[in-house]
Structure 1
Amino acid sequence: GMSMCVLGMATEFQKYNIAVNALWPRTVIHTAAVEMLSGIDKAKSYSRKPDIMADAAYSIITKPFDHYNGQFLIDDEVLEQEGIIDFNQYLSDPANNGNLMMDFFLEEYPHDGFNQGKEVAKRQAQQKI
């Protein structure tokens, strides 16, 4: 459902310089819904703070519309492109680093959206030279 909407709207709105993308978390995000399903302590131990999604979304929407369009992006991959490599600040429980639950809907690395974003950035930088 959502994937087809992203692709369709990205194409449809491109002529208006409007980008449409999907942003997925790599890991479970600590939210009230996760707490309700698994309990407060357990949810906190294996998740990241919602801040990681906010920072990734901010990074995406502050780029020119053609930097990302019709992409399926992962939060930490977007932030890696911004130079952020230490994700400990996003841990809900810093004592559980390395024990995060991966999102159910994602496959393991590599993810294509990250590489496509890097290629777009590289082409844009070369055009400015």
Structure 2
Amino acid sequence: MAYLDLDNMFPAPARCRAESATGTTVSTGFTALEWSVIALARNDSLSSLATPGRMSRAIGSVFGLGTKSRLADPRLEALRRLAVYAWRRGFALPIDEIRNFVAAGFSEAQIETLVTSVTGLRRDASRRPR
């Protein structure tokens, strides 16, 4: 029986790998699932990152106003949170979010990849003729 490694189906190209200070290779790319989380974060606002209070949840349940759900996987939620900041603010990222991102298992090189690709996409979208 053959084994298909779905988690590493799309490995990062050689140019997307960086050498860390310890001499280990660090990937600067993202998996297909992670790229889809980044793309979905484009539609989220900064208010989706705030934790709703008791009163806000009560009023929301009475009037049927739902709050944005967090992702079940803490690693993907850290990626979503940083991606929302990247879509909205570019390189002006909060230090706490960067710490949470790195603590979730991502590298600092992936932060640069994320913000550069997001701001590059946004800049290209604004140049399109209407």
The two structures have a TM-score, normalised by structure 1, of 0.32
Larger Rg: 2
The two structures have a TM-score, normalised by structure 2, of 0.32
